[in-house]
Structure 1
Amino acid sequence: MKEPKKIGMLTPSSNTILEPVCSRMLSDVPEVTCHYSRFEVTKISLEQDALKQFDYEPMLRAAELLAHAEVDVIAWNGTSGGWLGLDVDRELCDLITQRTGIPATTSMLAQMEAFAKNNVKTLHLVTPYLPEINTLLAKQYLEHGGIEVVNVQGCAQTVNRSFSQVSHERIENMIKSVAESPADGLSIVCTNFPAINKVEYYEQNYNQTMYDTIAVLIWQCLKMVDVDPKKVKGWGKLFR
């Protein structure tokens, strides 16, 4: 029997959303399995203690543990490249591959690939983050993809654990607010944010293709292990 392709996910320690979501996304794709390795992330802000969480070495140690399972790709299922810079994500991927011999990617790099493939030039942005984080995200989109952010909604929260507890009512109000203007897509940035659980509902009701940072990573990782992303059913237009 052929062994499934294995996706290794680097996971923030306080994240409770991404693992069950990734497993549900792949429930109809038995030829692929997801495996997780955590490192400490509890706070998202521009304060020094929060930025230090994303030093390379803890992430590389977590990547080495995934390599013990002989995964086929190692993915940073997190969005720190959105404010630290996409070049930081690229360097992290290079270091992971140097350390483990395994190809690597990140949620933010996957999102940029999804935007390019679908000719996204304007975006709405919804996150649980502080305004200053959202400003840096918009700057990365413009600098690295020529993509303009039209409308932004955030929750101004910093505790990573709290992101998973934002109500669907509040998320829907945020999406409804930004979607009043036209754009090529809706960017949901945070891999501990429950918006992804209602992606089909939001897309249908607000006429936006949703580029959630968990979904785009699964989409890209499937391509990296030579599995058709269209095998993922019920998780938004991206997979169709």
Structure 2
Amino acid sequence: MALTDVVRPRVGLILPSAQVVTEPLFNRVNGDRWDFVAARVLLTGAGSADLREMELQVPRAAAELATARIDVLVSCCTASGALMGYERDTAECRALAQITGAPVTSTMLSIVENLRALDARSLVVVTPYLHELGAVEHRYLADNGFDVVASHDGEIDDPYLMSTDSVSGIVERAVGIWDDSADAMLLSCMNWPAFHAIEAIADAISAPVVTSHSATLWNVERLLVEARALRGA
């Protein structure tokens, strides 16, 4: 079979409009295996009201991606998933699956699944978020059986500027707040370059480090394997 004849899994991404980290990162780390296609939803601020307004556009974006015959869809905003809560987040994914005819997950749901697979229950959580959103995420995690033993929020009030945070700064803040009583560290946000800090932080704290991006990729892999098994491939 010629290289151009190989049909690779197609992963649909619904991205906040200010998000500039995810597409380049996913294409660098997994673009040799999967094709990524994206639709954007307008996000004009970093607060909870801005995220709720953005979420109203998600069904439209899912319908657009359905026309690309995607194999899996991911709603790629960690904070909006946390704001919805687990039950509504799950229900929205089910509704989007009806639109797309493909398995659907969110970044926040992926984080929960990944942490459970690691048997990590006590967490140190670092984000670039405003404190109000950091507190919302802590409640989401607590509602799903996780204990946040330490945390740090960057208080960045512009969703685009989250992407410009330095990797060295992320490492410094994460290592500085680490608590040895925790099972793992969570670095939360899809428009934040925390993925590049995983190795340095994990080496420093000798514990698993999960980011929004790493959890999403892990869960997409799982969903693709399940879908392939259902098809009998």
Does the TM-score normalized on the shorter chain lie above 0.5? yes
Indicate the residue corresponding to 2:180 in structure 1: 181
- Asked if residue 35 in structure 1 is aligned to residue 74 in structure 2, the reply is no
Report which stretch shifted further, 172-181 or 88-97.
Answer: 172-181
- Structure 2 residue identity aligned to 1:142: A
- Structure 2 residue identity aligned to 1:52: E
Structure-2 change in CA distance of 1:19 and 1:188 (3 Å): same
- Asked if residue 21 in structure 1 is aligned to residue 8 in structure 2, the reply is no
Stretches of structure 2 that go unaligned for 5 or more consecutive residues are: 227-233
Q: CA deviation at 1:17?
A: 0.5
Indicate the residue corresponding to 2:118 in structure 1: 118
Task: Give the TM-score normalised by structure 2.
Answer: 0.89
Report which stretch shifted further, 35-44 or 105-114.
Answer: 35-44
Three-state SS of the structure 1 residue aligned to 2:148 is strand
Of residues 9, 21, 40, the one that matches 2:13 is: 9
Report which stretch shifted further, 99-108 or 180-189.
Answer: 180-189
Report the Cα distance in structure 2 between the residues aligned to 1:82 and 1:192, rounded to whole angstroms.
15
Q: CA deviation at 1:158?
A: 2.1
Indicate the residue corresponding to 1:231 in structure 2: none
Indicate the residue corresponding to 1:45 in structure 2: 47
Q: CA deviation at 1:88?
A: 2.3
- Structure 1 residue identity aligned to 2:9: K
- Structure 2 residue identity aligned to 1:45: G
Report the Cα distance in structure 1 between the residues aligned to 2:94 and 2:179, rounded to whole angstroms.
40
1:115-194 matched pairs, under 5 angstroms: 115-144=115-144, 146-194=145-193
- Structure 2 residue identity aligned to 1:196: F
Root-mean-square deviation (CA, aligned residues, Å) is: 1.6
Superposed CA deviations along residues 32-67 of structure 1, whole A, max 9, x for unmatched, are: 221111111232213x34422222xx1111111111
- Identity value in percent: 24
Task: Give the TM-score normalised by structure 1.
Answer: 0.87
Q: CA deviation at 1:84?
A: 2.5
Three-state SS of the structure 1 residue aligned to 2:74 is strand
Structure-2 change in CA distance of 1:53 and 1:172 (3 Å): same
Indicate the residue corresponding to 1:89 in structure 2: 89
Q: CA deviation at 1:95?
A: 1.4
Superposed CA deviations along residues 68-95 of structure 1, whole A, max 9, x for unmatched, are: 1101011111111112312221122111
Structure-2 change in CA distance of 1:130 and 1:116 (3 Å): same
Three-state SS of the structure 2 residue aligned to 1:164 is helix
Structure-2 change in CA distance of 1:160 and 1:183 (3 Å): same
Report the Cα distance in structure 1 between the residues aligned to 2:167 and 2:177, rounded to whole angstroms.
15
Indicate the residue corresponding to 2:71 in structure 1: 72
Stretches of structure 1 that go unaligned for 5 or more consecutive residues are: 228-240
- Structure 1 residue identity aligned to 2:45: K
